[in-house]
Amino acid sequence: MVEYTYRVLRLPRGTTRDTARRVLTEHAEHGGWELDRLRLYPDGSRRIQLRRKIIRQVRTF
């Protein structure tokens, strides 16, 4: 079973698509995050949910 950790970002209205893309690209390239959900609200703000796998080490004897 794969486990994930989540992070929620909120971008205010007036944030351009290009700026939102750059923010998501930075999180993906440097933090290993991937897009889980993106919600665009009627007022123009965005709620972005990112996820990344939790890698657990297994003890070997």
Give the model confidence (pLDDT) of 7-37 as tens digits: 999 999 999 999 999 999 999 999 999 999 9
How far is residue 9 CA from its own chain's centroid? 7
In a domain, 21, yes or no: yes
How far is residue 22 CA from its own chain's centroid? 12
In a domain, 47, yes or no: yes
The values of phi and psi at residue 54, to 5°, are -95, 120
In a domain, 40, yes or no: yes
Alpha helices in 1-61 (DSSP H): 17-31
In a domain, 61, yes or no: no
In a domain, 42, yes or no: yes
Kindly indicate the confidence band of residue 58, based on its pLDDT and cuts at 50, 70 and 90.
confident
CA dihedral of 12, 18, 20, 21, whole degrees rounded to 10: 170
Domain that holds residue 11: 4-53
Overall residue count recorded for the chain in this entry: 61
Kindly indicate the confidence band of residue 38, based on its pLDDT and cuts at 50, 70 and 90.
very high
Number of domains observed in the structure of the chain: 1
Model pLDDT, residue 15: 92
Q: Give mean pLDDT, residues 28-55.
A: 94
Residue 52 has pLDDT above 80, yes or no: yes
pTM score over 0.75: yes
